[in-house]
Structure 1
Amino acid sequence: MANKSAEQRNRVETALDRVRHQIGLVLGAAAGARQAAEAELAKLELERDIVRVGMNHATPEQQNEWSKHPAAHEVFGALGTVRGTFYTDWSQGPATLRELVGQNAPGPAGAKPGEWLGRVGHNAGITSPGLWRVGSATAAGGDATRTFDVAVPLLDESHLAITSAPKTRPVIDGIVQNLLIRVLSTFEPGAVRVHLWDIGQLTAILPDLYPLSRTSALSLYDPGRLEDLLDELAGHIRRIHATGMQDGKTSLREMRVHRQERIEPFRIAVLYGNGETLEPERARDLKRVASGALAAGICLIMIDVPTAVSASVETLSLIDDRHAISSMTGTDLVVDLDPPMPSGQVIRAADRIAAALIAKQGGPRSFDDLLPTELGRESSARELRAPVGFFEGEPVEVVIGDASPHALIGGPSGSGKTNFLYALLGSLAARYSPDELALYLLDFKEGVSFAGLAPGRKDASWLPHARLVGVNVNTDREFGLALLRFLADELRRRSAAAKEHEVTNLADLREADPGGHWPRIVAVIDEFQYLFAGRDQVTATATQLLEDIARRGRSQGIHMVLASQDVAGIEAFWGKPAVFEQCTLRIAMPKARRVLAETNNAAVSAPKWHGVLNHDSGVAHGNQLAHIPDASSKDVFVRLQHRLWDEYAARFPRPRLFDGAHSPILEQFPAYLDLKPSSRPRALLGQSIDVTEAACGVDLSWAPGRNIAVLGSAAAEALSIMDSSARSLARQYEPGQVEFVLGCAIEACAPAVLELAERLRADGHTATMVDDLTSTLESLSGGAKILLLYGVDAALPSLEVKAVGQLKSGLDHLRTVLKQGPGHGIHTIGWWRSIARLKDTLGFAGTDDIGTWAALDVQGNELAPFAAGQVVHWSPRPGRALFFDRTTHGAPEVIIPFQRPENAQ
């Protein structure tokens, strides 16, 4: 047993010895590998240090320290071999670089100042040089053949960060000024804008360029307000990004090349820091701006601003007042900086550029400058785009499309709001044909701003794009509601078509249905706040419709332009921001309030005849100031309208004109002129307040209750309704088919009634004037008869009297005629001057016998018994009536009585 245990212990000890031996071997190998790795790491670190400093730039102390390294001999030998091989193979390198800079820095970008300084550039700004000269460098060897130009990319290519050395501020100013004057002298005036900010100086920033400060080419910013500059640049970036998204492009350069025109000027923002880190919020803002700036054509030149940015940045680090290290050439080459250009020559060059820019901008532009050379060449499939004014000679455009679907325009009286609307309408109409653009124009104020766009007595022309022109509608809020209902119906029609063709927007619908008629619709409502002036059903319905159109109209090409003198007073939208949120396009005329964002006060300081255009919901960074040319003076817009009329009038109908200040004339009304004999005659009471030129009519069928009551004491309107009802019915009967019976109990109205009777007789009909109404009612027999009763309330005393021996009074006979007459072809059209007297006439069970009524100067609460018990919202107003037909109406509607013949002059 003991021998067996000893044998097992020996085997275990032998195995452990073998394990220890193997572990020793592994540890030895690991130690050797570690030592080799540490030696290799030390060698690489030495190589990195040598490369970073440069073999030719090391101080004796550095070279002595490097020589003590165990791997020094090996590293120096390897680097020397690489450098020797490089310079052997790079004999043509400097010449290649000179050629490269020459190709990418043409003209002022790379040439000597004497060849261009003082001359105004001609580059339109569609493309840009890729490089801009800052100095020269010489490769190892030192002879002239190894010297080449050093240039840095700017503008679309890269930002530039400059780091100073002690007492080198004048040198840095020279570098920056050299670059700026090269850029400014390359492009045509206005193609470049320079923004200067210096944390340490309020003025005297590059003073040689100050002649440009009298133009938009140069702007200075308060040293304590870096956020102002960054906010402005951020606004440009957002605007360019939004425009690019619409074009399907990712950068301003792509848009310029695609359109072959300069859309926006290049911008160079020069930021002078002091070597200290910016405040955290400003640093974050700067990083955000820098990341999107290049794509928006904005280049930053940052001097001693120690902020890392996530964008392409080249660097220039000064060694002394003549030399620098550039990221373009690497740390092994020293750049010999170009000396500052002569101050006097720079000042004169800047002055010439400024003068050329001012001359290019010219004096005030005219309305004709807004118009294209050829009419109607643009497509509205994607958007509407039209210049409405100028800023320093450059056109400022309004864009209406998916990104900015609706516009809000504000300006107090005399600020030029109406003039702006004419400039907008004219510029749009000149660019888009009536097939591409349909206009619906409504003016609520007491004026005729848009009346000239429809044919008139003095000028037979009209604006072919206009489908509807409404003026003087301040008391006819129902007409604004009718327009919104029309637009809502059109929106449903277009949505149904889009669904049928499986598309989602107007552009795709037009592509899928090229044979359809799908113009973009622009509805302009001036003084639109009147539409929401009352706290009633009109306001509630209009608000609902407008919100729906504003929200969904953008995708179907239906756009609203809402204008007002005082947007602050629109109570209907308190707590309902849906409409204003959709009005991303804001135009504020001088002194306008609440049109732009709350903190944006640009309109307060806007000069006269200018406007602040903003496509970013009124946020300050979206401001564009524009001078609006005179578009509303006599004959200015008319000249364009005549051109458009000559071009399109033969193919497009005249617009519907609704003028709230004038009553329609029956003899000229289409619905009256279209009347002809019919088995179902229809009495026309007045004009409906609708988008279409429709008449309000009543079918006088042989059914119970088909009688008409005119209610109120307004004699002119009552006579008009009675007159138009009779005369329209007369046109629908052949002579001899109908008999008109006229009874007038109001002496003052007798001449008008007699005149009507004569007109009816002249048309071949029997028209009988009766004095004894009781006997006439008693003797009425069946057959087509129209009983015209004027002032029934005045006749009641005589009708209530029963003759001796008679069981029934004249009133009893009238009630019988009202109840039973329509079934036998006898219809009554009567005028009662009060509701109470109508009730007395009808008795306890007679309200059903008046199926139709037109109320004049009667309060709405009196009409409920005759409107199926519903609450009637009606306040009397001159020249208007409230109409209700229980067989067709859910609620009463406002109508306009026709003018009587003697007043239709």
Structure 2
Amino acid sequence: MASKSAEQRNRVQTALDRVRHQIGLVLGAAAGAREAAETEVSRLALEQEIVRVGMNQADAQQQTEWARHPAAHEVFASLGGVRSAFYTDWSAGPGALRDLVAAHAPGPAGRPPSEWLGRVGSNPGVTAPALWRAGSATAAGRDISRTFDVAVPLLDESHLAITSAPKTRPVVDALVQSLLMRVLSTFEPGAVKIHLWDVGQLTAILPDLYPLSRTSALSLYDPTRLEDLLDELAGHIRRIHATGMQAGHTSLRELRRATGQRLEPYRIAVLYGNGETLEPERARDLKRVASGALAAGICLILVDVPTTVSASVETLSLLDERRAISSMTGADLAVDLDPPLPSGQVIRAAGRIAEALIAKQGGPRSFADLMPAEPGLENSARELRAPVGFHEGEPVEVVIGDASPHALIGGPSGSGKTNFLYALLGSLAARYSPDELALYLLDFKEGVSFAGLAPGRKDASWLPHAKLVGVNVNTDREFGLALLRFLADELRRRSAAAKEHEVTNLADLREQDPAGHWPRIVAVIDEFQYLFAGRDQVTAQATQLLEDIARRGRSQGIHLVLASQDVAGIEAFWGKPAVFEQCTLRIAMPKARRVLAETNNAAVSAPKWHAVINHDSGVAHGNQLAHVPDASSRNVFVDLQHKLWERYAGRFARPRLFDGAHSPVLEQFPAYTELKPGARPKALLGQSIDVTEAACGVELPRAPGRNVAVLGGATAEALSIMDSAARSLARQYEPGAVEFLFSCPIEACAPAVLDLKDRLAAEGHSATLTDDLPAALTAMAGSLAGGPPRFLLLYGVDAALPTLEAKEIGQPKSALDHLRTLLKNGPGHGVHTLGWWRSIARLKDTLGFAGTDDIGTWAALDVQGNELTPFAAGQVVHWSPRPGRALFFDRTTHGAPEVIIPFQRPDADLAGGATP
């Protein structure tokens, strides 16, 4: 047993000895490797230091120190061999460099100025030279054979940082100006945009280039507003990445090569600093811009702007007024900068480029340039798309569809908002037929902006796409509400049809129901803030309807265009995000505020007759500046309207025109002309404020309470209502089949009443004007049964009350009692009273304790809403009197009173007052 244990111990000991031996070998090898590595590191450090200082530039002390190094002999031998080989081959070096620059800096990019300065470039901008000449350098002395061109990469290749030396600002300006002129002279006009910012100068930044400032090729920025330039560049980068690179390309250069087209101009932003570090926020913004700029076709030239950017940056550091150090050649070679370009030649060359750019863009564009070659050929199933202006000669389009369903337009008075609306409407109408586009146009301000789109006295034509035109409706907010109700009803109709066909949007509905009529609807509401002008039911209902249409209208092809000239119009949306956020299309006229995003101030500096078009909810990167041509001058839009009217003649109905400044004419109203003798007489009191041209009528069957009261002291309106009621009733009876009895104790109104009586008599009806109202009432109350239908028209009942209240001796009832009998029992026997009371209190006196049931219908004029509550089934009435309008309520048909417009009464001068 003991011998076995000893044997095991020996085996273990032997194994441990072997392990120790192997570990020793490994440690020895590691120590050797470490020593070799340390030796190599020391040798490389020596070699690096010699290269940095230079073999021939080191002083004696430095040479002695190097010689003490163990690897000195080996390093000097190696570097000496490299230097010998370099100088042996250098005879071809300058020529190779010159060939390299010539190949990558063709034409103005690398050639002498005499060959190109003053000539307009022709490169379309699909590809760009990789290098741009800045000067020359000579290696190993001043031997001209060893001189070569020095060029720097710009545009798609790299940014450029320039550091000045004392008193070298003119040299820096000459260098920058030379590079910019080389670029501008290489490409065709419009292919390059220059942005200039100088922290120390408001003007005089490269003044020789100022002829370009009258075009879009050159922009200057406020020295205190670097953020404006950086925001603009950042927005451009985001826009390029959001739109131009969706096909999978990583840069604008790749996209140009793939499409063979210059989709965007190159941009060079020159920033002049003062050597001081930028504010932290601006420095961060600049770094963000620089990192994404090259891929978006933006090149930065930074002069004395200390910053570190995560992007390709070449440097030029000036040594004095002639020489600089470039990162392209290294610190050992001084670059001799090219001499400045002659100032006069630069000014003339910039002027020629500016003139060529203006000529290329076609100069000022007209409304005719917005028109298509052939009208009415576009399809609106997916969207509406139409140019509204031009930028640098290219059309700028407005797109209305699922992505940008509703538009918000803002601009102060005189900014061109109305002109823009005409440009938009004209461009849309020219491209889409009335089968594809239906327009509903409403203008709340006092004016007739849209009136010409409907037929008028001087011009019988109309815009065939227009279905509704409302003007001068600043006091008729109810008409705006009526339009929203109509749109909500149409939205429900389309939604039901979409559900029936199992689709979710207009394009699919039109595909599944090709026989249906589903045009896209665009409702333009100018000065829309009037909808929210009061804290009442109109505002509440308008808000609810507008939010619903804004939210759901996009899928069914119903679009809102809301315009306002007052900032209050935009502020009306604050607190209504359901509407504001759906208006992703924003159009800001010059000086407009709060139309675009809060931080987007592009409209503040927009020139006159321009607009900022933004399809991205007002975010700055979506800005497109457009010059809007004149569309609203005399005969400009009219000519287009005539052409379209003739093209679609007879195919589409005339639009409904609602003009709040004019009272409707009864004889011209369809509801009146269509009346004919029938079983249920209907009195027309006025025009309903509605999308359709409807009249407000009161049916007068043989039923209790079917009497009509006109309330208030507004004489002209009261006479109008009484007149239209009587004439419309007379039209529904054969001559001799009805009797009219008039009473008018108001002397000023007598001529008007007499004229109406004579008109009815001339039509063959029995029409009598009584001078003894009590006797007439007594007779009528005693003979209710039998006889033809009778209408009692009482003018100024309150004026007759003292006479009616008096009782004759021996009579148990007064004439007032007989009037009450007629009001209570007359309608059931075909006797209806149409009375005008000038005050609510007098009407109550007339009715006595019988209550209000005998007055089933009333039209209130200059009466406050709170006085009408007893006659409106107890509900609170919101009504403030306004000229030319009445509040109408029929308890048998109305849930709430509605505003109506009394008809224009003929020969109104007989009334003792003007017709409204």
Counterpart for residue 724 of structure 1: 724
SS of 2:654's partner is: coil
Q: What does 1:618-767 correspond to in 2, within 5 Å?
A: 628-733=628-733, 738-746=737-745, 748=747, 749-757=749-757, 759-760=759-760
Counterpart for residue 460 of structure 1: 460
CA distance in 2, matches of 1:703, 1:459: 48
**Structure 1: runs of 5+ lacking an equivalent:** none
Q: Which amino acid aligns with 1:895?
A: I
The Cα offsets for residues 119-166 of structure 1, whole Å up to 9 and x where unpaired, read as: 1124555x333634448999x9xxx99999998765456545668999
The Cα offsets for residues 170-190 of structure 1, whole Å up to 9 and x where unpaired, read as: 887676545422331233323
Counterpart for residue 422 of structure 2: 422
Change (3 A) 1:652 1:808: same
Whether 2:850 is the aligned partner of 1:849: answer no
Q: Which amino acid aligns with 1:465?
A: H
Q: In the TM superposition, what is the alpha-carbon distance from 1:522 to its structure 2 partner?
A: 3.5
Q: In the TM superposition, what is the alpha-carbon distance from 1:25 to its structure 2 partner?
A: 0.9
Change (3 A) 1:531 1:224: closer
SS of 1:843's partner is: helix
The Cα offsets for residues 405-427 of structure 1, whole Å up to 9 and x where unpaired, read as: 32232314x55443444344334
Aligned with 1:897 (options 898, 902, 909):
902
Whether 2:788 is the aligned partner of 1:788: answer no
Whether 2:27 is the aligned partner of 1:22: answer no
SS of 1:844's partner is: helix
CA distance in 2, matches of 1:809, 1:241: 90
Counterpart for residue 484 of structure 2: 484
Q: Which amino acid aligns with 1:545?
A: L
Q: Which amino acid aligns with 1:287?
A: K
The Cα offsets for residues 705-726 of structure 1, whole Å up to 9 and x where unpaired, read as: 3332222233332333233233
Q: In the TM superposition, what is the alpha-carbon distance from 1:822 to its structure 2 partner?
A: 3.8
Which has the larger displacement, 370-379 or 871-880? 370-379
Counterpart for residue 863 of structure 1: 868
Counterpart for residue 877 of structure 1: 882
Q: In the TM superposition, what is the alpha-carbon distance from 1:193 to its structure 2 partner?
A: 1.3
Q: Which amino acid aligns with 1:740?
A: E
CA distance in 2, matches of 1:45, 1:146: 35
CA distance in 1, matches of 2:703, 2:13: 123
The Cα offsets for residues 210-238 of structure 1, whole Å up to 9 and x where unpaired, read as: 54345442334466653342123224335
Counterpart for residue 839 of structure 1: 844
Q: In the TM superposition, what is the alpha-carbon distance from 1:264 to its structure 2 partner?
A: 5.0
Q: Which amino acid aligns with 1:837?
A: R
Q: What does 1:324-473 correspond to in 2, within 5 Å?
A: 339=338, 342-343=341-342, 345-358=345-358, 365-378=365-378, 380=380, 384=384, 386-388=386-388, 402-403=403-404, 405-412=406-413, 414-473=414-473
TM-score, length basis structure 1: 0.80
User: Is the 8 Å Cα contact of residues 703 and 822 (structure 1) preserved in structure 2?
Assistant: yes
Counterpart for residue 527 of structure 1: 527
CA distance in 2, matches of 1:424, 1:134: 48
Change (3 A) 1:98 1:782: farther
SS of 1:847's partner is: coil
CA distance in 1, matches of 2:555, 2:43: 65
Q: In the TM superposition, what is the alpha-carbon distance from 1:475 to its structure 2 partner?
A: 1.9
Q: What does 1:211-230 correspond to in 2, within 5 Å?
A: 211-213=211-213, 215-221=215-221, 225-230=225-230
CA distance in 2, matches of 1:315, 1:516: 67
User: Is the 8 Å Cα contact of residues 707 and 822 (structure 1) preserved in structure 2?
Assistant: yes
Q: In the TM superposition, what is the alpha-carbon distance from 1:851 to its structure 2 partner?
A: 1.9
User: Is the 8 Å Cα contact of residues 322 and 337 (structure 1) preserved in structure 2?
Assistant: yes
SS of 1:836's partner is: helix
The Cα offsets for residues 676-719 of structure 1, whole Å up to 9 and x where unpaired, read as: 44444433221110122111122334443333222223333233
User: Is the 8 Å Cα contact of residues 837 and 843 (structure 2) preserved in structure 1?
Assistant: yes
Q: In the TM superposition, what is the alpha-carbon distance from 1:98 to its structure 2 partner?
A: 7.1
Q: In the TM superposition, what is the alpha-carbon distance from 1:787 to its structure 2 partner?
A: 1.8
Q: In the TM superposition, what is the alpha-carbon distance from 1:272 to its structure 2 partner?
A: 5.0
CA distance in 1, matches of 2:538, 2:852: 27
Q: Which amino acid aligns with 1:195?
A: H
Change (3 A) 1:839 1:199: closer
The Cα offsets for residues 557-608 of structure 1, whole Å up to 9 and x where unpaired, read as: 5444444443248885565566555556555556656656777777677666
Counterpart for residue 231 of structure 1: 231
CA distance in 2, matches of 1:24, 1:654: 110
User: Is the 8 Å Cα contact of residues 485 and 545 (structure 1) preserved in structure 2?
Assistant: yes
Which has the larger displacement, 613-622 or 751-760? 613-622
User: Is the 8 Å Cα contact of residues 137 and 333 (structure 1) preserved in structure 2?
Assistant: no
SS of 1:195's partner is: strand
Change (3 A) 1:416 1:325: closer
SS of 1:541's partner is: helix
User: Is the 8 Å Cα contact of residues 722 and 829 (structure 1) preserved in structure 2?
Assistant: yes
User: Is the 8 Å Cα contact of residues 98 and 148 (structure 1) preserved in structure 2?
Assistant: no
Whether 2:265 is the aligned partner of 1:287: answer no
CA distance in 1, matches of 2:43, 2:515: 77
SS of 2:692's partner is: coil
User: Is the 8 Å Cα contact of residues 453 and 462 (structure 1) preserved in structure 2?
Assistant: yes
CA distance in 1, matches of 2:67, 2:624: 62
Q: Which amino acid aligns with 2:118?
A: G
CA distance in 1, matches of 2:803, 2:605: 74
User: Is the 8 Å Cα contact of residues 108 and 116 (structure 1) preserved in structure 2?
Assistant: yes
CA distance in 2, matches of 1:379, 1:396: 19
Which has the larger displacement, 490-499 or 683-692? 490-499
Counterpart for residue 911 of structure 2: none
The Cα offsets for residues 60-81 of structure 1, whole Å up to 9 and x where unpaired, read as: 989998998989999999xx99
User: Is the 8 Å Cα contact of residues 385 and 428 (structure 1) preserved in structure 2?
Assistant: yes
Give the share of equivalent positions with the same residue, in percent.
73
CA distance in 2, matches of 1:319, 1:404: 59
CA distance in 1, matches of 2:698, 2:245: 55
User: Is the 8 Å Cα contact of residues 498 and 504 (structure 2) preserved in structure 1?
Assistant: yes
Q: Which amino acid aligns with 1:711?
A: L
Change (3 A) 1:831 1:586: same
TM-score, length basis structure 2: 0.79
Q: Which amino acid aligns with 1:410?
A: G
CA distance in 2, matches of 1:202, 1:713: 67
User: Is the 8 Å Cα contact of residues 43 and 75 (structure 1) preserved in structure 2?
Assistant: no
Q: Which amino acid aligns with 1:434?
A: P
Q: In the TM superposition, what is the alpha-carbon distance from 1:371 to its structure 2 partner?
A: 4.1
Which has the larger displacement, 621-630 or 673-682? 621-630
Q: How many residues align?
A: 891
The Cα offsets for residues 768-789 of structure 1, whole Å up to 9 and x where unpaired, read as: 6666232023212247624232
Change (3 A) 1:197 1:603: closer
The Cα offsets for residues 805-826 of structure 1, whole Å up to 9 and x where unpaired, read as: 7665554444444334444444
Change (3 A) 1:768 1:206: closer
SS of 1:684's partner is: strand
Q: In the TM superposition, what is the alpha-carbon distance from 1:459 to its structure 2 partner?
A: 0.7
Q: What does 1:249-264 correspond to in 2, within 5 Å?
A: none
The Cα offsets for residues 627-646 of structure 1, whole Å up to 9 and x where unpaired, read as: 55443333233223223323
Change (3 A) 1:572 1:216: closer
SS of 2:300's partner is: strand
Q: In the TM superposition, what is the alpha-carbon distance from 1:20 to its structure 2 partner?
A: 4.4
User: Is the 8 Å Cα contact of residues 197 and 272 (structure 1) preserved in structure 2?
Assistant: yes
User: Is the 8 Å Cα contact of residues 131 and 153 (structure 2) preserved in structure 1?
Assistant: yes
